[in-house]
Chain A
Amino acid sequence: MQRGLLLFYFIITVSSIFIFRLFYIQIVADEYRISPLNNSAVRVNYDYPERGYVFDRNGKLLAANQPSYDIMVIPREIKNLDTLELCNLIKIDKATFIKKIEKSRIYSPYLPSVFLSQITKDEYAYIQEKMYKFKGFYIESRSQREYTVNSAANVLGYISEVNDNLILENPYYQSGELIGAQGIEKQYEEILRGKKGMNFIQKDRFNREIGPYRDGIFDSLPEPGSDITLTIDIELQQYGEKLMKNKRGGIVAIDPKTGEILTLISMPTYNPNLMVGKERSKNSVKLFGDKYNMPMYDRSLLAQYPPGSPFKIVNALIGLQEGVITPETSFYCYHGYQYGSSAKAFMACHCGVVNFPIKLEMAIYKSCNAYFANTYKRTIDKYKIPSVGIDAWSKHLNSFGLGDFLGYDLPIGRKGHIPNAEYYNKNYKNGNWRSTATISNAIGQGEVLTTPIQLANLTAAIANKGFYFTPHILKKIKNIPYKAYNEKKITTIDSKYFDPIIEGMFQVFEIGTARYSRLEAIQMCGKTGTAENFKRINGRKVQYEDHSIFIAFAPKDNPKIAIAIFVENGGFGSAIAAPIASLMIEKYLTGEVLRTWMEQGMIDKSLEYQYQKQLFSLTSFEKATK
């Protein structure tokens, strides 16, 4: 018995190992548990629903579908093929034909695969007449996107084939299927695409279909995609894009009463139909590879610019709220503001009001740097420690949606930057800094960065006197109003403080920096901005032409549109940004533009020479250093 125990233990050990192993492969390891979806014994035939249409706020069609045709092949079923005739018919050469057939055969001799994809309607018309001659080939019709406007590419986005990572993340998608990749096509992918229907079919190991899998208990019908309506006003969008011709920058217009985004312009842009169909991958390489114009870079959401003078308005509001100034407080301007003892510690000002006490209203329409430097310094120095002051200041700004993602319904965005105490403590050793070190914040330069949509939202909050609705782009799903964004966001500034500010912004158009953009019919409020900008080229700081900035809302008493414009290297805010804003407001509120001379001037204005200069200075610098 003693020696017999060896076999006994062997039996027990082997059985235990078996049970552990079976426990592992049948219960623990996921890789072996196969859902019918990726089970090679079961083939799924998909039934794709039509993708939902996209309309603008006035019901104009933006995105629809068009039929496209794929020539399919089942290699095993090819019989008596006249290769030459087929090649001539579909216009490919013999080498390509052989390559494609080989590819299909490698994929599977029994299964249909795409032989030639996305042939056009015209080609289809004459090919399909002769298709009966070629056994094993047939035409399958599919649906592909068609954008009915040559505009708003950054809003609409595009659809493309899913990549492998996404397939791993989201089991809904199979290789080769399409998915929204940018813009609303991505954001509202699930609403637009609907749900594909599935038929499960049992196969054997030679890939032959035997019959429905489990009598079709897993099968499902397709659910069609839903049509959606955007808040975009496509006419205004197109008009803005026209005005921005040959210029770079972003324009965002918002309806302050609802937070609906009326336009979202990023220039330069591209034709959305370039990203459709069989030319897509070729065009995509071209567009993404254009490092000079960067058409795929949505400047309205991604570009972070120093806000410049429009930022003075918030600083004034904070000053009022903190009680460090009143509308009657006045400062003197000495062609600038001396904030330290050295000669360098001087902030120049071009308001030109000398030896005259400047009050808040005038400070706004004259855009006086000295006034706001004083206000800012008082705000920060109200608290004994500058870091406490900065934090209080930056909290006010955060309440306007600055310095963080706004939470709008588009898939991309940037936070911008509003510095706080932590930021300065990190950059100045031992927290040894004072309010004057951050004085550039007073006039929207320095460490402050905002995106166009943040600035537009800020404008809307000012127009509303202290609250805003999160900007959003979806208005209706299947004609049912979309209500996810009707929560009022209240800022930390009391509404009574907005009145003097709005009066000042009104004067900007009447007698201030934007008086040339004034319009008799509409009472507009705005603020110009001119932001210095630098680029670091191989470690050297190079200054370029200033960015032209403008924010505005109108009409003054019942705001219907709030708009923010950045024009890269456009010079003074009053030069390009203000006229464009004024024209767009006129267009939106009256439906037509009477100042055609101004309109034409803006369309003709090209900043290409500025951008080429940058390109040139960049390349010449590179040459010089070589």
Chain B
Amino acid sequence: MRKQRNNIFYGADFVLILLYLTLVLIGLINIYSVSSTTANFDAFSLSSRFGTQLLWIVISIPIVIFVFFLEARLYERFATLSYLFILLVLAGLFVFGKNINGATSWYSFGAFNLQPSEIAKAITALVVAKIINESQFDLRKFKSQWKAFLIILIPALLIAFQPDPGSSLVYLAFFFVFYREGLPWNYIFFGLLAVILFFLTIAFGMVAILILSVVLMLLAGIYIRYIKLRKLNKFGLDLLAVLLFSTVFILSVDQIFNHALKQHHRDRFMIILGKTVDNQGIGYNTNQSVLTIGSGGFIGKGFMYGDRTRGKFVPEQDTDYIFSTIGEEWGFVGTTVIVILFTAFLLRIFFLAERQKNKFSRVYGYSVVSIFFLHYMINIGMVIGLIPTIGIPLPFFSGGGSSFLGFTILLFIFIKLDAHKVYEW
């Protein structure tokens, strides 16, 4: 036993680490290809995207060891403190931050830029796990619900005002966690209903969807009352609530869409719904990225042979749109392998989280999988033209040190907690 105790990596889940390393390696190879499109490409110079990415991977090694070195219980103990600290750091951006591409999301340290919002996700996950682990906390209670919502709302708002709405959207991932830990299902139900109605209303117009929802409700009512011959009272009330919600929401979508959102947000929705076609202006990114992926065909054009990647047709192809290069150079085979690898990666964390005996570890693990899932869903969904343009990175693939470090720390804290389960807590 002593020998095992001395090995800090003892108990770490090797399947998960192997999946992580595979994704990182493929990501690195891919960045090499994208990076080589720049003039005077020198792989191991810090002026190239590949060079910096490699450097961040090297830097992450001592950090991972450090994560393992810390005792597991410290993560719970210092969660609140680090949460307050990161809020301070996020707020400090408004004073000391460096503006890159219109968002003040960065601290600049000479050659390096750090994006605190990437680390904030892991810390928020820790503090969420901590409060849910508290004995009197119960998500079925209103007070607990608002406490939980507030914890994710503060960093989300701070990030949203940088402005980096994409990154703040990731905090929606915590609703999976809350639901798992007892949040009543109607929050999720109404949330999903709102998203669906929002899209449908923009796509087909207010009146049509209003009539459709009323008709559907009536049919549902008739079905329950006359066919299933159940008592209508309870369901009737629920139905009425849903109908009321839908009606008010549909009526307000118009207001939200036309007044609350900015023009470029409206454009992105319209493009995805096919209501506007503008492949040169606002729809350029999505159109080019879908064309680029499509041009790969079944087996792709081969490593370093993506002519559209060479020509840099897709903007941000080394960060948010990097998946397009995989589509072009590795084809359907490549993209499917990545999708399957990610699915395996997510499900592995999911099962490990469910396996935790300790509530803190379980909630944290669950937060980790939710955050990774949201990144995966939004990023690939956007690149293949299913979701409006929302700029968030694809874990381990998109170039960028802060996000790579953030994802690695997020993951390895969980691997540490998971490894620790063999010890007495």
CB distance from B145 to the nearest CB of A (A): 15
Chain B residues with Cβ below 8 Å from A27 are 297-298, 332
A25 within 8 A of B: yes
Contact in complex: B295, A1 (CB < 8 Å): no
Chain B, range 285-302, C-beta contacts under 8 Å to A: 290-291, 293-298
Chain B, range 340-360, C-beta contacts under 8 Å to A: 340, 342-343, 346-347, 350, 354
Most chain B CB inside 10 Å of its own CB: which residue of A8, A14, A17, A204: A14
Shortest Cβ distance from B370 into A: residue: A7
Contact in complex: B313, A26 (CB < 8 Å): no
B373 within 8 A of A: yes
Interface string of A464-494 (1 = CB under 8 A from B): 0000000000000000000000000000000
Interface string of A1-38 (1 = CB under 8 A from B): 10110111011101101110111011101011110100
A39 within 8 A of B: yes
Query: Which bucket holds chain A's interface residue count?
Result: 35 or more
Shortest Cβ distance from A21 into B: residue: B384
Chain A residues with Cβ below 8 Å from B305 are 214
Partner of B347, one of A11, A19, A31, A42: A11
Shortest Cβ distance from B346 into A: residue: A11
Query: Which bucket holds chain B's interface residue count?
Result: 35 or more
Shortest Cβ distance from B353 into A: residue: A4
CB distance from B35 to the nearest CB of A (A): 15
Contact in complex: B180, A210 (CB < 8 Å): no
State the CA gap A32–B347 with chains docked (Å): 32
Partner of B297, one of A33, A39, A41: A33
State the CA gap A214–B302 with chains docked (Å): 11
Partner of A202, one of B176, B311, B339: B311
Chain A residues with Cβ below 8 Å from B181 are 3
Contact in complex: A22, B293 (CB < 8 Å): yes
Shortest Cβ distance from B373 into A: residue: A11
State the CA gap A41–B314 with chains docked (Å): 11
Contact in complex: B294, A32 (CB < 8 Å): yes
Partner of B295, one of A32, A203, A210: A32
Instruction: Tell whether A4 pairs with B310 under 8 Å between CB atoms, given A11-B373, A26-B335.
Output: no
CB distance from A117 to the nearest CB of B (A): 27
CB distance from A105 to the nearest CB of B (A): 16
Chain A, range 174-230, C-beta contacts under 8 Å to B: 202-205, 210, 213-214
A40 within 8 A of B: yes
State the CA gap A19–B179 with chains docked (Å): 27
Chain B residues with Cβ below 8 Å from A214 are 305, 307
Chain B, range 301-318, C-beta contacts under 8 Å to A: 305, 307-308, 310-313
Partner of B380, one of A4, A7, A18, A34: A18
State the CA gap A14–B382 with chains docked (Å): 13
Instruction: Tell whether A25 pairs with B384 under 8 Å between CB atoms, given A7-B369, A15-B343, A33-B294.
Output: yes
Given contacts A10-B373, A22-B293, A34-B294, 16 further A-B contacts (CB under 8 A): A1-B354, A4-B366, A6-B179, A7-B180, A8-B347, A10-B176, A11-B346, A11-B350, A27-B297, A29-B294, A31-B294, A40-B311, A41-B308, A202-B310, A204-B312, A214-B307
Enumerate chain A interface residues (CB-CB to B < 8 A): 1, 3-4, 6-8, 10-12, 14-15, 17-19, 21-23, 25-27, 29, 31-34, 36, 39-42, 202-205, 210, 213-214
Query: What are 11 of the A-B contact pairs (CB < 8 Å)?
Result: A3-B180, A3-B181, A7-B350, A11-B373, A15-B340, A23-B332, A25-B293, A26-B293, A32-B290, A40-B313, A42-B307
